[in-house]
Structure 1
Amino acid sequence: MFELRFEAASLLKQIIDAIKELTDQCTIEVSSTGLALQAMDSSHVSLITFKLKAEFFASYRCDRTLNLGLNLKVLNKLLKTVSNTDKATLRAEDDGDQLKLIIESPRRTTTFDVKLIDLEAEVLNINTSEPKATIKMASAEFKQICADLLPLGDTLVMEITKDGISFSVTGSDTSGTVTVRTDAEPAEDEGARTEIQLQEPLTISFALRLLSQFTKATPLSPTVELRVSSDQPLCVSYEIGTDGHGSIQYYLAPKIEDEETVEPTATSAVVDDDDE
């Protein structure tokens, strides 16, 4: 039997929101140590991983490892009306074909039975070698930058130096650049100062539409970490909680300029077959 309890049902909703931007269906592995997920978007350009340790939850029980195939659109509909005071319990039997979702508010309890689906769970090895640049900044600021530049074009160019990072987009009629300096005090509503650890200056391009989808995870963490290299996918990482109990990470292969701009697949750029 598997059962866990979220003290805040709204957090479960935020997690589902962050995952469903890339995939409608996924398999979550539940084990004695916690939850884990790995999924690719339909175009196989980006990859998402999610982990939440058992210690994170108000209560957690897992008698044996299970793979739960979920339709995220269905779950999202069921969680649309949860409030910050609601609690959520997830429960599944070892050989069952349903996930039970229980939403408890101060005045009532609502129970849903969600049909599990059969999905092939492909586990990919991810290249985790040391990035050439690591940027830590306020997640709300990163979300705003992506939102401001998205109407201008499809490709975001990042230019990273020790003094800051520039985000640029060139469209058919308009171009725009947002520069964030490391020596500037952040505004009160931006949160953390931008910090950069840099081995060498970098200029690299990514699909802005997908980056904007990644920022759906903004409510989960006040900061975001961008790990960038010229020969590896970008990793956009959000920590969940304050004790290292969880994270959600997105991987996006760089755009390559050739005769036309091509987005390489995540299977060719994210996966390192030499990793174990």
Structure 2
Amino acid sequence: MFEAKIDDIRLLRDSIETIAQLIDEAVLRVKPSGVELTATDRAKVALVNFKMTSKAFSEYKCEGDIDIGLNILNFLTILKRVGNDDKTKIRFDKNEQRLEVIIEGRSVRKFAIPVLDISSEELSQIINLDFPSEAEVQSDIIEQGISDGDIIADSMLFTVEKERFMMVAEGDGSKVEVNISSPSVKINSSRDVVKSLYPLDYLKKIIKAARISETVKILMGSDYPMKMEFKNPAVELSFVVAPRVLEE
């Protein structure tokens, strides 16, 4: 049995809305410590890892670990029906095999969605990749840079140096370059320079997580996957995206 109540839906809704940009179905694992979701998109280009602590809920009861297979878009559609002043209960009973969402406001509305039979993926090797360089930047700076790059290209080159972080996009003779230096970036790198190219169609979706965290930690290597971490006291939302081949 799992039952939880959340007084402010925005943090959960914003997280699920970002996840839904990439994932259509996934296993939501509820534990006594909180809620987790780990999945890859259908093309296996990106991985999503989501954790929301039980302390984010005003009430939380979970009897052991429970896996709940969900259509993420259906779940999001219901969460979008919750007003900012409404209280929300989320409940799951193994015997009924349905997830219930009860919205309490001027009226009480009750939604139920079926649980899907989805196999959990073994993704620990991707989640636990070692990265030689990391940079922590204000999320809105990265969001602006990705939007700038999207004007002229379909991929963006990320470069981490000892004291500078750069984003460059080029296409049809046009170029945009974003340079970020201290104090706007905090860099920790075991290499003098690392650089890798990433698809902007994925970056545009991932950066929507900027709503849940003022800063983003970017972990990467040369011609290597990149991890983007968004954290606040209640939620951790991270993404690993595969690189594109960097042509010399």
TM-score by length of 1: 0.83
Partner of 2:209: 217
* Matching residue of 1:155: 155
- Equivalences for 1:1-276 in 2 at 5 Å? 1-105=1-105, 107-127=106-126, 128=128, 130-183=130-183, 193-200=184-191, 201-230=193-222, 232-241=224-233, 245-257=234-246
Cα distance per residue 1:213-263 (max 9 Å; x no partner): 10121111111110112264211001132xxx430110012222369xxxx
Aligned AA for 2:211?
P
Distance 2:225 2:113 in 1: 35
**Which structure 1 residue ranges, 4+ long, deviate > 4 Å from structure 2?**
none
- Mapped partners of 1:75, 1:239: distance in 2: 22
State the Cα deviation string for residues 111-148 of structure 1 (Å, max 9, x = none): 11111111121121235354221111111221121112
Aligned partner letter, 1:246: V
Instruction: Specify the SS of the correspondent of 2:125.
Output: coil
Question: Whose strand fraction is larger, Structure 1's or Structure 2's?
Answer: 2
Please give the alpha-carbon distance, in whole angstroms, between the structure 1 residues aligned to 2:125 and 2:96.
32
Q: CA separation in 2, counterparts of 1:104 and 1:119?
A: 30
User: Do the aligned partners of 1:64 and 1:94 also contact (CA within 8 Å) in 2?
Assistant: no
Specify the code of the residue in structure 1 equivalent to 2:235: G
Measure the CA separation in 2 of the matches of 1:142 and 1:180: 10
| Pair 1:11–1:129, CA change in 2 (3 A) | closer
Kindly provide the amino acid, as one letter, of the partner of residue 206 in structure 1. Y
- Count of paired positions: 246
- State the TM-score, normalized to the length of structure 2: 0.92
Deviation of 1:172 (Å): 2.1
Listed one character per residue, the Cα deviations across residues 198-225 of structure 1 (whole Å, up to 9, x for unaligned) are 2211121111211111012111111111
Equivalent-residue separation in structure 1 for 2:125 and 2:203 (angstroms): 19
The residue identity in structure 2 corresponding to 1:215 is I
Does structure 2 conserve the Cα–Cα contact (< 8 Å) formed by 1:9 and 1:103?
no
Q: 1:140-168: per-residue Cα shift (whole Å, max 9, x none)?
A: 22112111211211121112212221101
Q: Is the 8 A contact 1:240 1:248 kept in 2?
A: no
| Unaligned runs of at least 5 residues, structure 2 | none
Instruction: Please tell me the residue identity of whatever aligns with 1:210.
Output: Y
